[in-house]
Amino acid sequence: MYDYPHLSSLDIGLVRAPGPGFGNLLFPIGRALYEAKSKKEVFVRPAMLNLKKGSLIRMEKDLRLYNKELKRRNYNDWLNLLQRLGLNNVKVFLIIFSLSSFYLLLGFFKQSIETI
């Protein structure tokens, strides 16, 4: 079983819909972490990045993205998230392989553009 905190109405794994502030997000994260440890289940890290259009329109210095406050997901966290979403191991492997290939190509093109 997996424990995943529900932080906003729409959560697609990378980005979530605007919702409560960072302090109020700590309550559901803490509850899910406690439940996972007490039941010996797997805690799945939530997506912290959220895009609030108001702060983007006003061009505020602090956009309140919340993407640097907590530790980023590692490979096992992504596997746990995808398995929690109901994807089997073959689909998970194909998704991670395609994403890693995309990032490798992106890095290659970025380096080749910088050298020009």
Q: Does residue 112 surpass a pLDDT of 60?
A: no
User: 69 and 29 in contact (C-beta within 8 Å)?
Assistant: no
Alpha-carbon distance of 89 to 79, in angstroms, equals 9
Give the residue from 5, 27, 31 showing the smallest Cα distance to 16.
Answer: 5
pTM beyond 0.75: the answer is no
DSSP SS3 for 25: helix
DSSP SS3 for 53: helix
CA 35 distance to own-chain centroid: 20
pLDDT digits (tens, 9 = 90+) for 79-99: 777 777 776 666 666 676 677
pLDDT digits (tens, 9 = 90+) for 15-63: 787 878 888 888 888 888 898 889 888 888 887 778 787 887 888 887 8
